[in-house]
Chains A and B, each alone.
Chain A
Amino acid sequence: MAEALVKIRNVSKSYYRDSQEIPVLRNINFDIPQGEFLALMGPSGSGKTTLLNLISGIDRPSSGDLAVAGENVAQLTDGQLAKWRSEHIGLVFQFYNLLPVLTAFENVELPLMLTKLSKAERRKHVETALSIVGLADRVKHYPRQLSGGQEQRVAIARAIVSDPTLLLADEPTGDLDKQSAEDIMTLLSRLNKEFGKTIIVVTHDPRAAEKAHLIRHLNKGELT
Chain B
Amino acid sequence: MGQYEAVIGLEVHVELKTKSKIFCGCPTEFGGEPNTHVCPICLGLPGVLPVLNKKVLEYAIKAGLAINCSIAEFSKFDRKNYFYPDLTKAFQTSQFDLPIAEHGHLDINVNGEIRRIGITRLHMEEDAGKLTHQGETISSSLSSLADYNRAGVPLVEIVSEPDLRSAEEAKAYLEMLKAIIEYIDVSDVKMEQGSLRCDANISIRPVGSKELGTRTEVKNLNSFRSVQRAIEYEIQRQIDQVEEGERIIQETRTWDENKGVTLSLRSKEEAHDYRYFPEPDLTPLVISRDWVEELKNGLPELPEAKKLRLIADHGLPEYDAGVITSSRTLADFYDKTVSLHADYKGISNWIMVELLKLLNAENMEISESKISPEGLAKMLKMIENNTISGKIAKQVFEEMFNTGKDPEAIVKEKGLVQISDEGQINAIVEQVIANNPKSVEDFKAGKEKSIGFLVGQIMKETKGQANPGVVNKLLKDKLNEL
A and B are partners in one complex rather than unrelated chains: no
